[in-house]
Amino acid sequence: MRALAPIVVALLAAACHRAPPSDGLREWSADDHDRGPDDQRAAQQGPKGDAGGPAVIIEATWRTQCAACHGAIGKGDGPQGPMFKAPDLTREEFQSSVKDAEIAAVITNGKGRMPKFDLPEPVVAGLVARIRASRGR
């Protein structure tokens, strides 16, 4: 799904760039970054590590690409979860049975009714970290 790349880039652009102040009244300040419920939620839920790239991108990717089946946290309770029989990724037995590389491979290659996703490597790594962070939740 190469077509996803522009979407991710667009999200990145939307998250990081704001229109320059046209009237010169006010410059962007670091405080602005904390505005908005989405940013705050991403900060709370997203993986903190640097390995996965910007948390807001990971969070946006999860919500747009994964949550329909796997749900907001990963319990498999998204709107399409039952139809696809999406597994609960937070379960201890699942978490302890797979290596990070195996999770990344499923995202990249797909598995059964799980579609494959052509995402940049840092985004895949960030999704793996997000799934790990949901362990036992």
Where do contacts with ligand HEC occur on this chain (CB under 6 A)?
Answer: 65-66, 68-70, 80, 84-87, 89, 98, 102-103, 106-107, 111-115, 117, 127, 131
Q: Alpha-carbon distance 46 to 41, whole Å?
A: 8
Instruction: Tell the smallest beta-carbon distance from residue 136 to ligand HEC (Å).
Output: 15
User: Which of 33/135 has CB closer to ligand HEC?
Assistant: 135
Smallest separation (angstroms) from ligand HEC to the CB of 117? 4
HSE-up of residue 53 (Cα within 13 Å, Cβ side): 20
Q: Which of 43, 106 has the CB closer to ligand HEC?
A: 106
Cβ proximity of 103 and 128 under 8 Å: yes
Q: Identify which of residues 33 and 105 has a Cβ nearer to ligand HEC in the complex.
A: 105
Smallest distance from the beta carbon of 22 to ligand HEC, in angstroms? 37
Contact present, 75 and 135 (Cβ < 8 Å)? no
Structure tokens at 115: 């579609």
Report yes or no: 80 and 67 within 8 Å, Cβ to Cβ: no
**Residue 55 is encoded by which pair of tokens?**
């948390």
| Minimal distance, residue 130 CB to ligand HEC, in Å | 8
Between 21 and 115, whose beta carbon lies closer to ligand HEC?
A: 115
